Amino acid sequence: MNTNNNKIGFIEFHNVSKFFKTAEKQTEVLKNINLTINKGEYLGIVGKSGSGKSTLLNMLTAIDYPTSGDVIINGEVINNLNETQSAVWRGKNTGIIFQFFQLIPTLTISENILLAMEFVNIIPKKE
């Protein structure tokens, strides 16, 4: 890996592939994805249902791992983290609100987001 921070993207996918296996078949969801997103850049991910958008986001947040390849964020290969390390990493580095997961209805959107940050002591309680 290149250690020159000016050349390392904030988010990188290196030859990322993902397969799901069932007893009957193997389904290739992502195939050799190479992607660099630098700090400050915005990216839209579009595609039809089943094209791998959610799988890509799940790998970006260390919820899922590639079958092959590396997901690198700020120079750290996150797909090498175990489940506990991934949970801690997610709490400190990223956040995602799922469209179909139920938020706590008595809290505002901001409070729902802050609650997750509070669980990992990111924000002091007084703030």
Task: Determine the pLDDT at residue 99.
Answer: 63
Task: Determine the pLDDT at residue 3.
Answer: 45
Which domains does the chain possess?
A: 11-93 (3.40.50.300), 97-127 (no CATH)
Task: Determine the pLDDT at residue 1.
Answer: 44
SS3 118: helix
User: CA dist 73 to 4, 9, 22, 82, 89, Å?
Assistant: 14, 8, 30, 16, 11
Segments in the chain below pLDDT 50: 1-5
Q: What is the pLDDT of residues 10-44, one digit of tens each?
A: 999 999 999 998 888 988 999 999 999 998 898 89
SS3 13: strand
SS3 51: coil
